[in-house]
Amino acid sequence: MGSRATSDNGSPGSFILSQFIAPQPFESHPDNLTRSQLRRHIRQLRRSLSVEQQQRASEYLALNLLNHPDLHRARHIAIYLPNDGEIDPHLYMSMARRKGITFYLPVLHPIHEGHLVFSPYHDGIKLTANRFGIPEPSFSDGLKRPPWALDAVLFPLVGFDEHGGRLGMGGGFYDRTFAFSRLRPRLAPKLIGLAHDFQKVKELPVEPWDVPLHGVVTDQRCYRFRGSSSP
């Protein structure tokens, strides 16, 4: 199963898996949708996954992340709590914690509108729903880690394409918070999107504010984009 950590076109095994996991093959995403129509369409497909499909996707995702070269040396990783059918990174987190990795959750900045801060995520931490209903640590709890001091950030994606184009929930939170990475790419954390493989679309227009991802990891593959400096 380690062979899923590949950027080629996949093996017969991954074809069978994609038939099992995806509610529809990605080719069926309608053409010519606006960004917000596409967002609605993929979010609806994502929410329609069964508990078993989500669980299976989470297991394959964990294997692909554990084998990912960009994460081998990472010790401080930002992650997210799955919402709205997002692929679930909990299994990866529990396995990686045994290797001494510290995880951080995004918290909406109460004053710096549209920006995120990152708080440590460990057992027993108190979480409260933010204005989108997503649980997050309190802004005043725990020692925050500045975005530039993270080794890697695992972005929740709504959509992505094979060229590094990214569609998020539409708030621009990740784009604003990691805008610095376009000016100082060598200092930036590894920026890696997570998604179900069927969230891949043919092509997304790149907006001027879009922060380029180093790669995307799905339940089926690891996609790595131009500009990723790791071997």
Ligand X SMILES: Nc1nc2c(c(=O)[nH]1)N(C=O)[C@@H](CNc1ccc(C(=O)N[C@@H](CCC(=O)O)C(=O)O)cc1)CN2
Ligand Y SMILES: Nc1ncnc2c1ncn2[C@@H]1O[C@H](COP(=O)(O)OP(=O)(O)OP(=O)(O)O)[C@@H](O)[C@H]1O
Q: In the range 74-113, which residues lie near ligand X by CB under 6 A?
A: 80-83, 86, 106
State the pairing for strand pair 116-121/152-156: unpaired
* Pick 174 or 225: Cβ nearer ligand X: 174
Q: With 0-12 CB in 10 A as exposed, 13-18 as middle and 19+ as buried, what is 198?
A: buried
171 lies in the binding site for ligand X (CB under 6 A): yes
Which of ligand X, ligand Y, none lies near 176, with the C-beta cut-off 5 to 8 A by kind? ligand Y
Q: Count the site residues for ligand Y by CB under 6 A.
A: 13
The span from the CA of 213 to the CA of 190, in Å, is 8
> Is 4 flagged in the annotation as binding?
no
In the complex, least distance from residue 68 CB atom to ligand X, rounded to whole angstroms:
20
Query: Which part of the chain contacts ligand Y (CB under 6 A), choosing from 63-71, 91-99, 141-149, 174-182?
Result: 174-182
State the pairing for strand pair 76-78/135-137: unpaired
The three-point CA angle 54-197-59 to 5° equals 40
* Pick 141 or 175: Cβ nearer ligand Y: 175
The span from the CA of 15 to the CA of 22, in Å, is 11
State the pairing for strand pair 159-160/135-137: unpaired
Work out which of 79, 96, 134, 192 binds ligand X, going by CB under 6 A. Answer: 134
80 lies in the binding site for ligand Y (CB under 6 A): no
User: What residue type is assigned to position 72 of the chain?
Assistant: H
Work out which of 125, 169, 176, 182 binds ligand X, going by CB under 6 A. Answer: 169
Residues that bind ligand Y (CB under 6 A): 167-176, 179, 207, 209
